[in-house]
Chain A
């Protein structure tokens, strides 16, 4: 019931923002209060013991969900709260529709993660897609093109997903994912491919990724941050749950997913290296991250899924962190081209430190959280045998290419004081800086003390694999 409340609070807040939000500032504060309340309630309900059996497990069991799914939903709500704060600092006089749509996207993403019913899953996804499309149009002009590309490609993806869900329903005779039994390998092959193409389009897998750079660069930066960090990762989590609900999972499909994952990492990393627009750079880097997650999905072992789901949670934290740093830079300098930025480390030291931590974490550098998840994935790849060790080596090399891209951008934006004039900084909002500090600390803590969360994810991986 509390989970419903936690999900309903954002929707009620969205309604309040829509009804009484003529004053942009009031709407923004209402949204921030609503989301912060959601996050606090979720945290309190999670950590404070209630009843005879206390804590995380009893909470999840009480509403018939796995604890791991709640972990992911919790991160969605917390990151969503930071995105709302950032919006307050980033967008002055937001149009009336902005906050209601943003809260709907946050809420439906969290709901999709914990949904165990195919019909509600589809409903949450579609509401999220439609709301996102309208949010992308926020800046008008070129944003219409990005929104059109987004909704056309994502609607095609939705159609594939819908067909996969219907085929699942026809074959299993139930909408409840947890009640699935065994079906023929022919049906599994067909469903897996439709599912992969459908959800893969939403994740931005190569070659269905063309909407990602346009959408992320044209949407308001807090929205891009949520899409790249959270929506994409949450969709990958849903793909894992649905794919491994099909028994038995087919090796040929898993290998195909892994190969596509490595290809996605390659395209994302190489394209990111050539970008000068900060938001397009992060868009390609998010494509690279999606590839890493897919590679883990394709390995298919419990250890790989643990690494993959940890990477999903980390992606929500790390990617949001770097996007918020970019939001801070854009808000302060009105510039997003790396050629026009230089020497910001002296004027924005917290943002520079946040970006550095996020970039290192995304590149899998120890002792940050990204290192732990990528290490788990690569280890599982080497253990699997067959083509997977070779793919793991290739993934490692490509990850270094992405690291090089981050170093290049960091050097250009925050250092490079000798060559060009240091950028002027006009404004730094506390509503962007506070989330940057918290997310940076999380990146370090989740890297240094990963055991508690990895144990929870490990339980979930075994549940997903039917163990």
Chain B
């Protein structure tokens, strides 16, 4: 349980950093999140899953970094203090939700379930609080990571881990591709500005 708690705290911290930091640094937080999940899979004796996560999990951040290099990072909609407050509020709310539905969790996985619901909350905060297409993508990738972590609850799940990771990479590629094409045409990837420019 201590291991799960330690890893879980790291996941939540990295997810919160994805909300708060600029696009480029948030991508590095995603790398850290993916690597800690790969390490956790290894501890859970899922060697194939851990390898898939470590190799394919790096691909998405690389694609995002390449997209960032070809675009300009938009000005964030909210300041860091607001985002920190929103993150703390989201975490508190997540734990209230997790506590109220604790009977739904498998007994052996209670700690993980609490941490996964917190990650869920942070993923939604990322999706709703940002105008950057890259940040929206990072929010989706946090959701994909929750799916990967759930896989540990079953047996013989390496194939599913690979499938999940491959599609996470493909989704990243597609969204990054559209973002770069958008930038070529409108010189921004800020969704609110894009809306104004397109009329």
Contacts and interface: CB of A to CB of B under 8 A. Distances in A.
Given A156-B127, A166-B151, A145 B198 contact: yes
Interface string A100-120: 000000000000000000010
Given A122-B163, A163-B147, A142 B198 contact: yes
Given A148-B133, A156-B143, A186 B167 contact: no
A190 B104 contact: yes
A166 B160 contact: yes
A148 B175 contact: yes
A152 interface: yes
B146 A155 contact: no
A375 B182 CA distance: 46
A349 interface: no
B178 A162 contact: no
Interface string B176-199: 001101100100000100110010
Nearest to B161: A166
Contact of A133 (B133, B155, B174): B174
Nearest to A136: B178
A299 interface: no
Interface residues of A, number: 33
Interface string A130-167: 10011001001110110110011001101110110011
B103 interface: yes
A123 interface: yes
A169 B185 CA distance: 44
Given A123-B163, A163-B150, A169-B160, A144 B178 contact: yes
B75 to A, nearest CB: 19
Contacts of A57: none
Contacts of A148: 133, 175, 178-179, 182, 191
B63 interface: no
B153 A170 contact: yes
Interface of A: 119, 122-123, 126, 130, 133-134, 137, 140-142, 144-145, 147-148, 151-152, 155-156, 158-160, 162-163, 166-167, 169-170, 173, 186-187, 189-190
10 contacts: A123-B163, A126-B167, A130-B170, A141-B198, A144-B178, A145-B182, A145-B194, A155-B175, A159-B146, A162-B144
